[in-house]
């Protein structure tokens, strides 16, 4: 996930080119480029954490499902052996 604030010029400057230097000065004064980079870095970390969480949840669910299936199979075998001997 990337935040692309620094790559696009607002459409206003296609028709009002004389305002573009003012836009650039304000953008530089407000440090838009570095701020966008910080947001990109933070979003990247957050995206990595979410991906890791999904991986952990998937592994836990898979492990739980396999454990459940093994228990169910063993339980079914035990019940079938118990009922045939009686």
CA 68 centroid distance within chain: 29
- State how far the Cα of 18 lies from the Cα of 61, in Å rounded to an integer: 59
Say if residue 63's pLDDT is above 90: no
Tally the C-alpha atoms within 13 A of residue 72's C-alpha that lie toward its C-beta.
Answer: 6
CB 33 within 8 A of CB 27: yes
Q: How many CB atoms lie within 10 A of CB 49?
A: 10
pTM tops 0.85, yes or no: no
Q: pLDDT digits over 68-78, tens only?
A: 777 777 665 55
Name the 3-class secondary structure at 10. Answer: coil
Q: pLDDT digits over 14-50, tens only?
A: 888 898 899 889 989 999 888 888 988 888 888 888 8
């Amino acid at each position: 996930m990337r935040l692309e604030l620094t790559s696009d010029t607002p459409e206003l400057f296609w028709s009002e080119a004389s305002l573009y230097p003012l836009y650039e000065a304000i953008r530089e004064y407000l440090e838009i480029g570095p701020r966008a980079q910080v947001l990109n870095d933070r979003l990247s970390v957050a995206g990595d954490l979410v991906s890791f969480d999904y991986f952990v949840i998937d592994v836990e669910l898979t492990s739980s499902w396999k454990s459940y299936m093994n228990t169910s199979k063993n339980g079914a075998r035990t019940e079938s052996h118990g009922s045939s001997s009686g």
